[in-house]
Amino acid sequence: MLNIALFGPPGAGKGTQSKMLIEKYNLAYISTGDILRGEIAEGTELGLQAKDIIKRGGLVPDEIIVQIMEERIQTDTEVNGFLFDGFPRTTVQAYILEGLLLKMNTKLDCMLSLEVPTDQLRNRLLDRAKKENRSDDTEEVISVRLKEYDTKTAPVANFYKEKEIYHGIDGLGGIDQIFERLTSVVDQTLQKSWINLVLLGPPGSGKGTQGRKLAEQFNLEYISTGHLMRQEIKKDTEMGQSAKTYMEKGDIVPDEIAIRLIERQIRKHPDANGFIFKGFPRTIVQAYILDGLLRKLGSVVTSSINLDVSTLESIKRLTYRGKTEGKRLYDDTDIIIHRLEQFEKRSIKVSNYYSKQDKFEIVNGLGSEEDVFKRLTDVVNKSFKKIR
């Protein structure tokens, strides 16, 4: 998901550039002014409250703004993200936007500010006033509006500068020139965004085989908590000794161990394009943990894919593996059944968690390795297009 805040003083050409950006990146346009006017025109409860406040000469409070924005954001589900025009205007609203987007398991990717010299803005606005016969747009009024913009937006600009997502854009030149500058920054931002895939599916569904192939195909780092734990067991580390007692019984290893291993693995790859997580999360708690781990690094889960195979197929595959050199601690028949029961019991909550965020896909795990991989790459490519 791509979320942009577009700023610019009156006369900077924000409206023109907004239209071009939302078309190029398939974004929903969010303007608090437009939304408020729409609510008032429709006579909604929030619109009537806002109308009454405006009539009395007051400013619509953030409490109403946030409700209106949340409703609008939740209705736009067929877009790749949002373009916020003129919002947030205060640091309080900046925090509100953070919370709204966090609730959707996403974030603001960049704040673009069109920068035009004051004398140029003044000339543009005076010229527009003449053309549109706006007699109240005198030079004095325009100067006050421009000064007010600078005063109000400076703290917000600093807020995003501290987060290192603020980008000042030269607003002089032709429409296409300015648009090229804007898209250059947006495209660079997208390239910096991690692609994080969660590979779900029952034991024996082929997650390991396909996860490694996907990592190679899309230049991502493959993180298998099971593999990391087996390495710790082999080295006879403290974590390995602790994990072994659980893995031998087919039980889920304590979250504290998984967290330490995942964080360590992520730190090893600071220049990664993203990660494929196999074997984690297995529970709803672990899904929240992974969100927290990625949020800490300024990222989110891009998509989750469930490799769908029947219980009988899983048992066949794992029983066969148990007779090969690749046999694992937990490839005993009783433990296989126990692991599958655990999966059935816990997986539905994880699937629902990602499904509610529109980040859940099911892929048929039957067929040749190549056929399954082809299905997976089609789904992953579709996920990539949503954010790039």
- Note the pLDDT tens digit of each residue in 40-68: 888 988 888 888 887 776 668 888 888 88
pLDDT of residue 134: 64
State percent of the chain over pLDDT 90.
Answer: 45
Kindly report the pTM of this predicted structure: 0.61
> Given a cut of 70, is residue 386 above it in pLDDT?
no
- Tell me: do 219 and 358 sit in the same domain: yes
Mean pLDDT comparison of 8-17, 94-103, 232-241, 264-273, highest-scoring range:
232-241
Closest listed residue to residue 60, CA positions, set 82, 30, 93, 91: 93
- Residue 220 confidence (pLDDT): 92
Residue 388 has pLDDT above 60, yes or no: no
346 is in an annotated binding site: no
Find the mean pLDDT for residues 167-191.
Answer: 92
Give yes or no: 56 in active site.
no
Q: Any binding-site annotation on 205?
A: yes
Looking at residue 325, its pLDDT comes to 79
Please check whether residues 349 and 205 belong to one and the same domain: yes
- Confirm or deny that 209 is annotated as ligand binding: yes
Selected catalytic residue, list 51, 103, 145, 163: 145
Q: Which of 174, 192, 210 is the last residue of a domain?
A: 192
The answer to whether residues 297 and 333 belong to one domain is: yes
- Ligand-binding annotation for 168, yes or no, is no
- Highest mean pLDDT: which of 126-140, 143-157, 195-209? 195-209
**Residue 339 C-alpha from the chain's centroid:** 31
CATH number at residue 169: 3.40.50.300
Question: 227 in a domain, yes or no?
Answer: yes
pLDDT tens-digit readout, 211-260: 999 999 988 999 999 999 999 999 999 999 999 999 888 888 999 999 99
Query: Residue 385: its pLDDT value, please?
Result: 63
Instruction: Flag whether 243 is marked binding.
Output: no
| Given 19, 24, 130, 134, the catalytic residue | 134
Among 345, 343, 325, 321, CA closest to 333: 321
Residue 122 appears among annotated catalytic residues: no
In single-letter form, the type of residue at position 215 comes to A
Q: Is 346 a catalytic residue?
A: no
State residue 131's pLDDT score: 80
41 in any annotated domain: no
Decide which of 133, 165, 192 is a domain's last residue: 192
134 a catalytic residue: yes
pLDDT at 275 (0 to 100): 95
Range from 67-76, 107-116, 126-135, 145-154 carrying the lowest mean pLDDT = 126-135
235 part of the active site: no
Which pLDDT belongs to residue 194?
Answer: 78
Q: Residue 360 pairs with which residues in a beta bridge? A: 304
Q: Give the number of domains in the chain.
A: 2
Based on the domain organization, do 308 and 250 belong to the same domain? yes
**Is 128 annotated to bind ligand?**
yes
Query: Which domain range does residue 119 map to?
Result: 2-27+79-192
Query: Are both 266 and 134 inside the same structural domain?
Result: no
**Within this chain, do residues 244 and 336 fall inside the same structural domain, yes or no?**
yes
Higher pLDDT: 200 or 52? It is 200
Does 221 lie in the same domain as 259? yes
